[in-house]
Amino acid sequence: MFVSNIEGLLVLDKPAGMTSRAVVDRVQRWFPKRTRIGHAGTLDPLATGVLVLCLGGSTRLIEYIQRMEKVYRTRLLLGARSDSDDTDGNITPVPGAVAADAATVAACVAGFVGTIEQIPPAYSAVKVSGQRAYDLARRGEDVSLSSHSVHIYSIQILNYAYPHLELEVRCGKGTYIRSLARDVGERLGFGALVQELRRTRIGPFTSEGALTLDADPETARARLLPAEMAVAELPRVVLPDSERKRLEQGQVVAVAESPAGMDKSKEVAVFDAAGGLAAVAMFDSQRRTLQPVKVFHSKNQ
């Protein structure tokens, strides 16, 4: 049975009106039929922007891209609420909503910077008793979701002219911009929802370097990025061939010194002498050893 040996990362500029799964299905046509493709971080149908696809063996690295910092630009509609927290849902204007002044809006937005508790939207992929929340919501069932901690590094107000508020949000994994919009609106007292949403960056991957779905297979294949970029934010360790081969065989190996900048146990990206990704390993700071977590069998045998 033929199995495609294509692997790497492809940065797409997702258009509005498509699910992330539909984008993957479209991209599948550019590559051999059995090429594994997965996306690292869902974008709502309304949203546009950076969607990183992992191909072949690179799909094993999706979780590391999902952990990366993200940047969004969004336009909120104030004075209204939606059951989906965006314009794709049923919108209900808030009677008697009165515009807040710029200083009040700025103070409110600043209150969401840092580690906060956030409840995902009812129309989200979070599982409730084994079912996706959006499936329950679409059936008209009540959806009760628990809050979880997320981190927002910064929120910049780009423009405010009631009823519109434009923001740039820099945040960590698991942050829902729809939930942020909803919560900002509730704190201001007149509701809010997402009208436009664009992801401009995930880690080192930006919209400026993204491919559109108008591309052709030849261009797509030429624009594949090395899998190593998926672990760009992990500390880096280079092992000599003898130690690298032992690690690839599942053995724990010792390192002469701690990876640069590390003072505690943490995952690290392990490379061979030629710069190829050999493994992701857990560094034990007390024993100064590496325990393999994911092995990729270096091409430099």
Neighbours of 191 (CB within 10 A): 22
Q: Is 242 helix (H, G, I), strand (E, B) or coil?
A: helix
Give the bridge partners for 50, in sequence order: 13
Average pLDDT, the chain: 89
What pLDDT, on a 0 to 100 scale, did the predictor assign at position 286? Answer: 83
For 126, the token pair is: 């979070």
Where would I find the beta strands (DSSP E) of 113-180? 114-118, 127-128, 131-132, 148-161, 164-171
pLDDT score of 41: 86
Please give the model's pTM, rounded to 2 decimal places: 0.90
Q: Is 44 a catalytic residue?
A: yes
pLDDT, average across residues 161-183? 96
Residues 88-106: pLDDT tens digits?
Answer: 999 999 999 999 999 999 9
Domains of the chain: 8-67+204-229 (3.30.2350.10), 70-202 (3.30.2350.10), 234-295 (2.30.130.10)
Q: How far apart are CA 177 and CA 171, in angstroms?
A: 9
Residue 137 has pLDDT above 70, yes or no: no
Q: Kindly indicate the confidence band of residue 208, based on its pLDDT and cuts at 50, 70 and 90.
A: very high
Catalytically annotated residue among 44, 86, 183, 272: 44
Tokens at residue 157, please?
């107000």
Q: Are 91 and 214 in contact (CB under 8 A)?
A: no
CB 54 within 8 A of CB 9: yes
* Partners of 48 in the β-ladder: 198
pLDDT value at residue 1: 39
DSSP annotation of 212 reads P
pLDDT tens for 26-40 read 999 999 988 999 999
Which amino acid is it at 221?
R
Binned at pLDDT 50, 70 and 90, residue 140 comes out as: low
Of the two residues 219 and 299, the one the predictor is more confident about is: 219
- Which one, of 90, 89, 92, lies nearest residue 80 by Cα? 92
Rounded to whole angstroms, the Cα distance separating 63 from 111 reads 29
Mean pLDDT value of segment 192-212: 96
Cβ(155)–Cβ(109) under 8 Å?
A: yes
